[in-house]
Structure 1
Amino acid sequence: MLWQHTKRDAVKNFFPLPNEIFSLKLSPGALAIYSYLLFCEDRKTYQCYPSYQTIGNAVGMSINTVRKYVAELEERGLVVTEPTFIITRNGRKHNGTLRYTILPIQNAVDLYNQRQLRRLEEAVERMRVRKKLEGNEEHPA
């Protein structure tokens, strides 16, 4: 036999990815980074501290590309980032990595749905105004 099927532990070496994430229409890069952040997160605090470089190495992206997709995740309400600082032995303060807090997925779904509804309402209003303007052109005063 060329390969042997080994039984996988249902909990060990896996992390959950919420089903709702696929309804948010994330870019593939943002989805990859979100997945990596979930992989890294502390399941009790919902936080993790990977650098852009570490994330980039894990998902095959440059630091600038990682930065762009992290901004997308923040804008979509999936994560919040906060700067951290370290104090060196000689007492100097330096920038640390970002602290990522993974937000509840339902918040992002609600935000997405609100934005979609707002876009729909704006489109309906534009159509209403366009029809009104077209009607005025047909019947000049």
Structure 2
Amino acid sequence: MKYGNYRDGFFLPNELFQLGLDYGELAVYSFLKRCENRKTHQCWPSIKTIGEAVGMSENTVRKYIRQLEERGLITTEPTEVITKSSGRRNGNLLFTLRPIGEVIDQHYDRQLAELELATERQRVAKLLRARESPT
């Protein structure tokens, strides 16, 4: 396989490893990446299919999907199918994998905001200690 030809495989961006994903998040994301349409960045495997592929229960897969959504790596949308008898029922989730550059920027913005908040808390705590201590 020539480098850059993903016909027989798929690409995981190096930046993904800067996000501190645990093994479950990485496994579910990797499977979604494997399934995604390279043009639309979407896929719709069932929770059961994902679980079977990565060796997890459906509930565990759902947990990791929520975590990936919270981290901004994916978005999900419910789908609906029409049965042969013209009834409607819930389909698989439609997964959209967000561009990794946007995810990394969002991750760093969150880290910066947390750092600024921690710095402000330390500043206020120092002021309160200075007021309380006798001179």
- Asked if TM exceeds 0.5, the reply is yes
**In structure 2, what is the equivalent of residue 3 of structure 1?**
none
Structure 1 regions of 5+ residues with no counterpart? 1-7
RMSD: 1.2
Unaligned runs of 5+ in 2: none
Matched, 1:63 2:58: yes
1:82 aligned residue (65, 70, 77): 77
Q: Which residues in structure 2 correspond to 1:1-141 (within 5 Å)?
A: 8=1, 10=3, 11=5, 12-139=7-134
Q: CA deviation at 1:139?
A: 3.0
Number of equivalent positions? 133
Task: Tell me, in whole angstroms, the C-alpha distance in 2 between the residues paired with 1:115 and 1:27.
Answer: 18
**Aligned-partner SS, 1:45:** coil
1-structure distance, mates of 2:66, 2:106: 16
Normalising by structure 1, we get a TM-score of: 0.89
Q: Which of the pair has more CA radius of gyration?
A: 1
Instruction: Read off the aligned partner of 2:18 and give its amino acid letter.
Output: S
Deviation at 1:9, TM superposition (A): 5.1
Query: 4+ residue stretches of structure 1 with deviation over 2 A?
Result: 8-12
Report the 3-state secondary structure (helix = DSSP H, G, I; strand = E; otherwise coil) of the residue aligned with 1:121: helix
Distance 2:71 2:102 in 1: 9
Q: Matched residues, percent identical?
A: 52
